[in-house]
Amino acid sequence: MQLEEVAKALKELGHPTRLFIFKHLVKAGEQGLPVGDLQKQLAIPASTLSHHIAALVSVGLVKQNRESRTLLCVSQYEVLEEIIIFLREECCMNRISI
């Protein structure tokens, strides 16, 4: 990953609502969660949730799949792993304990 990509992804994860969404999607695993379930958990308007999900999708942290009438959100955990690797290699190379 390039510096700009990492910065954009971290910016999107820096919002508490987006971090909540991503955390729950990671916990849900490969099957993901329906958008409706996320909306119930957050108790926010659908348009607000859509805005937050779109931000996560735009940086590759979340993918959306439609199954029949249900829109599922799935975390792209490998993108987070790439960010962690970038930070470890580019920012923490001289730190033995990391």
CATH number for 36: 1.10.10.10
12 and 55 Cβ atoms separated by less than 8 Å: yes
Q: What is the pLDDT of residue 96?
A: 58
Domain membership of residue 40 (yes or no) is: yes
62 and 77 Cβ atoms separated by less than 8 Å: no
Domain count, the chain: 1
Domain membership of residue 97 (yes or no) is: no
Domain membership of residue 65 (yes or no) is: yes
pTM above 0.85? yes
Domain membership of residue 29 (yes or no) is: yes
Q: Give residue 26's pLDDT band: very low, low, confident or very high (50, 70, 90).
A: very high
Rounded to an integer, what distance in angstroms lies between the CA atom of residue 78 and that of residue 81? 5
Q: Which domain holds residue 74?
A: 3-91
Q: What is the pLDDT of residue 55?
A: 98
Q: Where are the alpha helices (DSSP H) in the chain?
A: 3-13, 16-28, 35-42, 46-58, 77-91
**pLDDT digits 0-9 by tens, 42-79:** 999 999 999 999 999 999 999 999 999 999 999 999 99
Q: Note the Cα 22 to chain centre separation in Å.
A: 4
Q: What is the pLDDT of residue 64?
A: 97
Count the neighbouring beta carbons within 10 Å of the beta carbon of residue 75.
Answer: 23
32 and 65 Cβ atoms separated by less than 8 Å: yes
